[in-house]
Amino acid sequence: MSAKMPVPYAVRRLEDGALIEIEWEPQRHVGRYAARDLRLACPCAGCVEETSGRLLLDPATVSTDVRALALRLVGAYALHVQWSDGHATGMYPWAQLLALCPCPDCAAARPAT
């Protein structure tokens, strides 16, 4: 039997959208994601080639002060973000967001790259 995928208990914009805070169930740990880091991790077809997974988004084209203008839940499985640079096509599945969680415990558990 596999463990149940954690889901967010709460999702918030902080610091005028410079941070996105996700409080995860059931352990209620909190990840505070830098907006630019999430923008660079956008999984949409405009940012990542669908067949190869090759990154299409040039990080140099994303402003260091990009902000999350609005957050919207997509069903029970993802987060949609409206970005200040006009980008709004990506949906971030909970599994991806949890894998990117920047909290100290999650960061320490990831293999070194």
How many domains would you assign to the chain? 1
Is 20 contained in some domain? yes
Task: Report pLDDT for 1.
Answer: 43
Residue numbers of the chain with a pLDDT score lower than 50:
1
Whole-number pLDDT of residue 3: 61
Would residue 112 count as lying in a domain? no
Return the pLDDT at 54: 96
Question: Domain of 59: which CATH number?
Answer: 3.30.2020.30
The DSSP result for 30-79, as a single string, is: EEEEEHHHHHHT--STTTB-TTT--B-S-GGGS-TT--EEEEEEETTTEE
Range of the domain at 74: 8-106
Whole-structure pTM value? 0.89
Residue 62 lies in a domain: yes
Q: What are 83-106's pLDDT values in tens digits? A: 999 999 989 999 999 999 999 888
pLDDT at 110: 84
111: in domain: no
Inside any domain, residue 2: no
